[in-house]
């Protein structure tokens, strides 16, 4: 299901430009052009993320965020035209996930949106259990076991295994895994994925004599039952 993003921005041309980019990326988009309408929509809920301009008519973005935080915890990325440290600090203190200073590169905004969405998705499912064959991952407890035998994984190994398990049967490219596990700012060195896949195989496949983490040559990796 497409993630829903709210844009609260009074510069309608900018809002429209960002909207088109987000639609192109497959998100659903809603817009508000002033603080009051933005707050109303945020409080109405149903958004996976909001882009919130600070300089808005009516209520400013910081005030919108402060009020919205009483009832909703939608991740928010603040947009500020001023390169004002105070605004950024205030926004982050009030619970904004991130901020962007205008003018920004759309690619950077998209990357920050993906990062913020990943972060909020990771903390959402408290009791989620993922499995492939006898391999089982309890996401909430942050534990992994094979046929009841606990497996010790580092943070990165855990994140990599989680990405594979969440997409069981689907081949994930190195760059997808890279972005998913290491974040957008590590683009380029995808061979680190191979290194961590080897670690995982050592602790799972080699240790238990199975072949769960599979290589699809020229494409990437997949975990199968
Ligand atoms: Ca503005």
The domain boundary residue, chosen from 122, 151, 178: 122
How many domains are contained in the chain?
2
Residues 8 and 104 both lie in one domain: yes
Report the predicted TM-score, pTM, of the whole model to 2 decimal places. 0.56
How many whole angstroms separate alpha carbon 19 and alpha carbon 23?
Answer: 6
Helices 35-44 and 61-68 pack at an angle, to 10 degrees, of 20
Supply the CATH number for residue 183's domain. Answer: 1.10.10.10
Q: What is the whole-number distance in angstroms between the Cα of residue 10 and the centre of ligand 1? A: 5
Average pLDDT, the chain: 89
| 26 and 118 together in one domain | yes
Quick: pLDDT tens for 92-102: 778 888 889 89
Q: Which of 105, 122, 139 is the last residue of a domain?
A: 122
Q: For residue 42, what pLDDT is reported?
A: 95
Cα of 63 to ligand 1 centre, how many Å? Answer: 14
Kindly indicate the confidence band of residue 132, based on its pLDDT and cuts at 50, 70 and 90: very high
DSSP sequence for 153-173: --HHHHHHHHHHHHTTTS-EE
86 close to 42: Cβ distance less than 8 angstroms: no
How much distance in Å is there from the Cα of 103 to the middle of ligand 1?
12
Distance 55 CA to ligand 1 centre (A): 4
Please choose, from the candidates 84, 106, 102, the residue with its C-alpha nearest in 3D space to the C-alpha of residue 11: 102
Q: Are residues 112 and 219 in the same domain?
A: no
Return the percentage of the chain with pLDDT > 90, whole number: 64
- Centre of ligand 1 to C-alpha 45, Å, is 22
Same domain, 80 and 146: no
pLDDT digits (tens, 9 = 90+) for 115-129: 999 888 776 555 678
Compute the distance from residue 120 Cα to the ligand 1 centre, in Å. 26
**Higher-confidence position of 184 and 135:** 135
Query: Are 11 and 85 within one domain?
Result: yes
Ligand 1 center from residue 3 Cα (angstroms): 24
Q: Band of the pLDDT at 182, cuts 50, 70, 90?
A: confident
Q: pLDDT for 12-66, tens place per residue?
A: 999 999 999 999 999 999 999 999 999 999 999 889 999 999 999 989 999 999 9
Task: Mark whether 21 and 115 lie in a shared domain.
Answer: yes
47 and 16 fall within a common domain: yes
Domain match, 96 and 177 both: no
Measured in Å, residue 88 CA sits from the centre of ligand 1 at: 15
Q: Which of 79, 99, 122 is the last residue of a domain?
A: 122
Longest Cα pair distance anywhere in the chain, in angstroms?
A: 64
Ligand 1 centroid – CA 73 distance (Å) = 23
Distance (angstroms) between ligand 1 centre and the Cα of 48 equals: 22
pLDDT at position 123: 64
CA of 61 to the centre of ligand 1 (A): 9
Are residues 179 and 99 part of one domain?
Answer: no
Q: In angstroms, what is the span from residue 7 Cα to ligand 1's centroid?
A: 12
Ligand 1 centroid from CA 115, angstroms: 24
What is the structure's pLDDT at 139?
Answer: 83
Shared-domain flag, residues 8 and 108: yes
pLDDT given for residue 72 in this prediction: 84
- Residue 11 alpha carbon to ligand 1 centre in Å: 6
The domain that holds 86 is classified in CATH as: 3.40.50.2300
Confidence of residue 184 (pLDDT cuts 50, 70, 90): low
Residue 189 has pLDDT above 60, yes or no: yes
Domain that holds residue 20: 4-122
Q: Is the pLDDT of residue 3 over 60?
A: yes
Ligand 1 center to 1 CA (angstroms):
30
Residue located via tokens 């988009």: 29
In angstroms, the CA 62 to CA 90 distance is: 7
Claim to verify: residue 179 and residue 106 sit in the same structural domain: no
Q: Do residues 185 and 87 share a domain?
A: no
């Amino acid at each position: 299901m497409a993630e829903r993003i709210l844009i609260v921005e009074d510069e309608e041309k900018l809002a429209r430009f960002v909207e088109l980019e987000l639609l192109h990326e497959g998100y659903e988009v809603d817009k508000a052009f002033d603080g009051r309408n933005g707050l109303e929509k945020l409080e109405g809920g149903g958004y996976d993320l909001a882009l919130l301009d600070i300089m808005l008519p009516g209520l400013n973005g910081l005030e919108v965020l402060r009020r919205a935080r009483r009832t909703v915890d939608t991740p928010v990325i603040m947009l500020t035209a001023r390169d004002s440290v105070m605004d950024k600090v205030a926004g982050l203190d009030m619970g904004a996930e991130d901020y962007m200073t205008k003018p920004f590169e759309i690619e950077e905004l998209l990357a920050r949106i993906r990062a913020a969405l990943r972060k909020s998705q990771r903390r959402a499912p408290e009791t989620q259990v993922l499995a492939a064959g006898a391999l089982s991952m309890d996401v909430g407890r942050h534990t992994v076991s094979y046929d009841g035998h606990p497996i010790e994984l580092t943070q990165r190994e855990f994140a990599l295994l989680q990405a594979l398990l969440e997409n069981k049967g689907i081949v994930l490219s190195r760059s997808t895994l890279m972005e998913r596990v290491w974040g957008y700012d590590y683009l380029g060195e995808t061979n680190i994925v191979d290194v961590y896949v080897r670690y995982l195989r050592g602790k799972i496949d080699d240790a238990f004599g199975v072949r769960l983490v599979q290589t699809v040559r020229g494409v990437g990796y997949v975990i199968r039952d």
